[in-house]
């Protein structure tokens, strides 16, 4: 039963957070600093998530095949490869390193 209470509290909290966002005055959202932060925040969150998923295993830092795949994807991005090619290169390199 504790799980359902946690789900209910989380859902209610998400609803309140959404409601809080809707109640912010429009003038506050039009400030240049807020617009700049809103543009950069998704990139920073995605970079942090990528680093956390690539270089950690539980509570420990690791350097394994995922790091090689990320490096290969970064190189493909520098070479201006299309997105699907970047993903394919990362998958192939990660699989090759794990095989070795």
The pTM assigned to this predicted structure is: 0.64
Enumerate the β-bridge partners of residue 72: none
Identify the band that residue 12 occupies on the pLDDT scale cut at 50, 70 and 90.
very high
Picking from 76, 51, 49, the residue whose alpha carbon sits closest to that of residue 62 is: 51
Query: Helix 65-78 and helix 32-55: axis angle, to 10°?
Result: 140
Enumerate the β-bridge partners of residue 56: 61
Residue 13 pLDDT > 80, yes or no?
A: yes
Mean pLDDT value of segment 13-28: 90
Q: Which tens digits make up the pLDDT trace of 24-82?
A: 888 888 899 989 998 999 999 999 999 999 999 888 999 999 999 999 999 999 999 99
Residue 1 pLDDT > 80, yes or no?
A: no
């Amino acid at each position: 039963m504790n799980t359902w209470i946690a789900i209910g509290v989380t859902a209610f909290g998400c609803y309140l957070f959404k409601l809080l966002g809707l109640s912010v005055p429009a003038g506050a959202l039009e400030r240049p600093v807020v617009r700049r932060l809103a543009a950069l925040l998704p990139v920073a969150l995605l970079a942090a998530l990528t680093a956390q998923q690539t270089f950690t295993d539980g509570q420990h830092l690791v350097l394994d095949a995922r790091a090689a795949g990320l490096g290969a994807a970064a190189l493909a991005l520098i070479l201006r490869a299309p997105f699907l090619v970047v993903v394919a290169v990362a998958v192939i390199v990660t699989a090759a390193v794990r095989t070795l």
